[in-house]
Amino acid sequence: MTTDRTDVRTGIVGLGNIGQYHAERLVDLGVPLVGGMDVSAEARRRFATRYGVDVYEDHDDLFDAVDAVVVTTPNKFHEEYAVDALERGLHVLLEKPLAHNLESAQRIAHAAADANATCMVGFNNRFSNAVQIVKNQIDRGELGRVTHLEANYVRRRGVPGRGSWFTRRAIAGGGALIDLGVHAIDLALYLLGYPDIQEVSGVTRSEFGPREDYAYLEMWGEDAGPDGFDVDDSSSAFVRCAGDRTISLETAWATNRPANHEFVVRGTDAAARFDLLENDLTIYSASTVGPDHLEDTTIQTRQNDTHTDEQRAFFDAIVTGRDVGESVEHALAVQRIIDAIYRSSEEGVSVQC
């Protein structure tokens, strides 16, 4: 019987930068990291050298040795590994997005619903202390009825690696929208309580990635040039939810404007504004107690490692048997919105969702 997260033998599928990022936090949490799997021999070599664990080319060998897996592969391969793990009864922490397209995401969701195991999707920004404070205030009714949310996840120049899998639609499923927008959409819906989605309108653009003269200061991966760049590098969208609640969305890998990760939550009694990069939080309200006045309240909190807290929640759920909530169902709802934005952009019309 599992009594502590130190009993949960865990492996990582996908040993690139994201996989190593997760591995470091598993070690810090005291979770036994027993192995990793990748199709790349070089990735396996680096991982084995760094963490001193067994590495495999075939995921079957890894799955035979673990109780849980963290899947950090390119989006197209999420289904293959997550579904197989769930069918074996292994617990799965799956990096966002759920999949590279809606059909694959639906198959993962079905497998998770049928599995006798915990499955959680990696929406780490939910675990930000600033986000949790806002969520608590909403739940206590301090903002009144929340009616609109502005969600921005914008980089000025931040294409993750031209020529990598991130910039190839067949593997990633899209560009900035599916990479960054998935975080912004989840946070917006999370703070709104995941209402039913009625209509989506959006435009995606590819204005910088395909250019020979793409100017940048740094890049997460290597720059192989514009050949093969067939995804969006920015998008704008409007989402209408049940009860006339709405979301305006801006996402970009590259655009000519200042970068920001700002969210504004507008309620009938107050609003909250926070930026995930700056870890600042301000509450805006007005009062007629005494002379009419406006109040701007700054809230200070510690900046926490959201991936560590995400992993802690995942393993605590495994140990206690506690439900991780509708994590997969929420991820599927986000995938439906992403699919609708892409369709809306292609067809030039709003899309029912």
Q: DSSP of 194-222, one letter per residue?
A: -PPEEEEEEEEE-SSTT-TT---S--SS-
CB burial class (10 A; 0-12, 13-18, 19+) of residue 212? exposed
Q: Is the pLDDT of residue 2 over 90?
A: no
**Residue 155 host element (H or E):** none
Kindly write down the DSSP assignment for every residue of 29-42, as one continuous string.
HT--EEEEE-S-HH
What is the layout of strands, in order, in the sheet containing 197-205?
A: 293-299, 280-287, 270-275, 262-267, 146-154, 246-252, 234-241, 197-205, 351-352
pLDDT of the residue at 72: 98
Query: What does the pLDDT look like over 66-110, one tens digit per residue?
Result: 999 999 999 999 999 999 999 999 999 999 999 999 999 999 999
Beta carbons within 10 angstroms of residue 292's beta carbon:
8
pLDDT of the residue at 3: 74
Query: What does the pLDDT look like over 199-256, one tens digit per residue?
Result: 999 999 999 999 999 999 999 889 999 998 999 999 999 999 999 999 999 999 999 9
pLDDT of the residue at 126: 96
- The mean pLDDT of 165-194, rounded to a whole number, is 98
One-letter identity of residue 119:
C
Question: Cα(353)–Cα(333) distance, rounded to whole angstroms?
Answer: 9
Q: Is the pLDDT of residue 191 over 70?
A: yes
Q: Report the SS3 class of residue 131.
A: helix
Pair of tokens at residue 125: 């920004």
Backbone dihedral region for residue 34 (phi beyond 0: left; psi -120 to 50: alpha; all else: beta): alpha
Share of residues in the chain with pLDDT > 70 (%): 99
Q: Walk me through the domains of the chain, giving residue ranges and CATH numbers.
A: 5-125+309-323 (3.40.50.720), 128-303+334-352 (3.30.360.10)
Mean pLDDT for all residues in the chain: 96
Kindly write down the DSSP assignment for every residue of 68-124, as one continuous string.
EEEE-S-GGGHHHHHHHHHHTT-EEEEESSS-SSHHHHHHHHHHHHH-SS-EEEE-G
pTM comes to 0.96
**Residue 130 host element (H or E):** helix 129-139
Q: What are phi and psi of 319, to 5 degrees?
A: -70, -45
Q: What are the beta bridge partners of residue 95?
A: 122
pLDDT of the residue at 325: 86
Question: Cα(276)–Cα(281) distance, rounded to whole angstroms?
Answer: 9
Q: Which of 83, 31, 32 is nearest to 59 (CA)?
A: 83
**Residue 153 host element (H or E):** strand 146-154
Buried b (16+ CB within 10 A) or exposed e, 32-41: bbbbbbbeee
Q: Is the pLDDT of residue 1 over 60?
A: no
**Residue 240 host element (H or E):** strand 234-241
User: 276 and 261 in contact (C-beta within 8 Å)?
Assistant: yes
- The mean pLDDT of 124-131, rounded to a whole number, is 96
